Structure 1
Amino acid sequence: MVTVRLEPMTDDQYLRYRQRAEVTYAEHIVASGAMPEPEARKKARDDYERLLPAGLRTPDHHLWVGYDGPDEIGMLWLHVERRSDGPHAFGYDFEVRAELRRKGYGRAMIEAVEQVCRDLGVLSIGLSVFGFNLGARALYEQMGYETTAIRMHKRL
């Protein structure tokens, strides 16, 4: 069984993450068919600037790096917001290093963040996943996440 510990992302880790994350997010938007590349690049940049205006110091946003011993295995970004019935979380980004996928690290990271959320009194965790990301969708479903909305389109 794999165990993962989550540690807050450092400033250096955040800079590296941010540089690649906007590019990757834009690529995923294009791959999903949601919009062409120029618009996807702008959306990615705008979304990150809107959601993380103060980077790691943006209130209620938590960015962690997952470790197996001394080795970085991935990252996770979670936003916690207070609603009328209590705190709810939303996972904006979650990644396991490509060469470590399908080895239990994703499951272990989700279990670790779910425990953090329980400790914070969080009532639910939401997330969004691109339709083409079948591996992530399968993992989330295995972990008990339920589909709440489906957005569809057809290329002509």
Structure 2
Amino acid sequence: MADPNPELKHLPSNSLPEGAPPIVVEDPQHLEVFALGDNTAVLVIEERERETRITQPWLSAQDDNLARQLVKTTRNLYLQPNKPVLIQLCSLQTALNNALEGTVIAGHMMTKAVHRDDMPPLADDVRPRAMNEGEVASFLRETEEGFARAIMENNADTSDWGDAKVKSREAMHAVAPEGGKTPGHSFLIVEDNKGEKVAVLWVALSDKTKQSFCYNIEVEPRKRRMGFGKKTLAIWERHAAEQGAISIGLNVFGNNLAAQSLYAGAGLFIATTLYRIEK
């Protein structure tokens, strides 16, 4: 007779349970495998200096009890004072998303498929141009500073200013190790028909995934709420199509509801959510 109240068990992680898809694990990540009755779950764990990251979760069934116990066990195993746990979930992980309801959302990754025969119309009052070398250098400095401020303002991150600057610097180096000369990266200025700058755009095409990823899109403060955000998104999508991208994607902080609304209005949807658990 089956146990009416089974408990989550920690299993050996040297092999994946039956039915689990291939999971890529890179150093210093490691696998953790769990079972609840006949159901199983797999997590990829990465211990970082300031946080623990959990990615690629797989559940053999979208079982609410399994998800709740998995979240509880995750807290017990990995949560430490001043070292939060961040869990990245795709939108299809309904049980885990339900179990984490009410948890602070650090951010979302939003995406959209690119179809060359179904492009958004380009506005006739804006045009993009490539930044020159000096503009790129200045832009990258401002972007690093701005990202540090965004980390401080994001209610899911309690970093002090020093930590925020370190995180911003590390993130910038990770995505653009050669700065403005990093292969595949495009740095654009969007101008109106008077030649005035209305927005900036930094995107990069992945050779592997063929996704054009946006690292920064920003409308000039005095040009906001005038429709230039939507027009710049259309420029990005067409630029991505010209480069051979099959999708576009970007990250947005969980507390930036205005940006989320703008991107959703342009057809992007939430592909993954990053939850932040802390004591």
Tell me by how many angstroms 1:135 deviates: 1.6
Match of 1:3 in 2: 125
Tell me by how many angstroms 1:50 deviates: 2.5
Tell me by how many angstroms 1:2 deviates: 6.0
Contact in 1 for aligned 2:137/2:180 (Cα 8 Å): no
Match of 2:62 in 1: none
Match of 1:65 in 2: 189
Displaced runs of 4+ in structure 1, greater than 6 A?
none
Bigger Rg over Cα: 2
Question: Take 2:172 and 2:186, find their aligned partners in 1: how far apart are those partners?
Answer: 14
Tell me by how many angstroms 1:154 deviates: 6.3
The answer to whether residue 164 in structure 2 is matched with residue 40 in structure 1 is yes
For the structure 1 residues 46 and 154, does the alpha-carbon distance in structure 2 shift closer, same or farther, using more than 3 Å as the test? closer
**Structure 1 stretches lacking a partner, 5+ long:** none
Matching of residues 111-122 of structure 1 within 5 Å = 111-122=234-245
Match of 1:81 in 2: 206
Q: Which whole-Å deviations, capped at 9, do the CAs of 1:90-146 have from their partners, x for residues lacking one?
A: 111110011111111111111011111112221000100112222211110000100
Question: Take 1:114 and 1:3, find their aligned partners in 2: how far apart are those partners?
Answer: 17
Contact in 2 for aligned 1:89/1:125 (Cα 8 Å): yes
Question: Take 1:90 and 1:44, find their aligned partners in 2: how far apart are those partners?
Answer: 18
**Structure 2 stretches lacking a partner, 5+ long:** 1-122
Match of 2:176 in 1: 52
Normalised to the residue count of structure 1, the TM-score between the two structures is 0.89
Number of matched pairs: 154
Match of 1:110 in 2: 233
What percent of counterpart residues are identical? 26
Normalised to the residue count of structure 2, the TM-score between the two structures is 0.52
Match of 1:140 in 2: 263
Higher strand share: 2
Secondary structure in 2 aligned to 1:75? Answer: strand
Match of 1:93 in 2: 216
RMSD between aligned alpha carbons?
1.8
Aligned residue identity for 1:48: M
Question: Take 1:78 and 1:19, find their aligned partners in 2: how far apart are those partners?
Answer: 16
Secondary structure in 1 aligned to 2:188? Answer: strand
Contact in 1 for aligned 2:203/2:215 (Cα 8 Å): yes
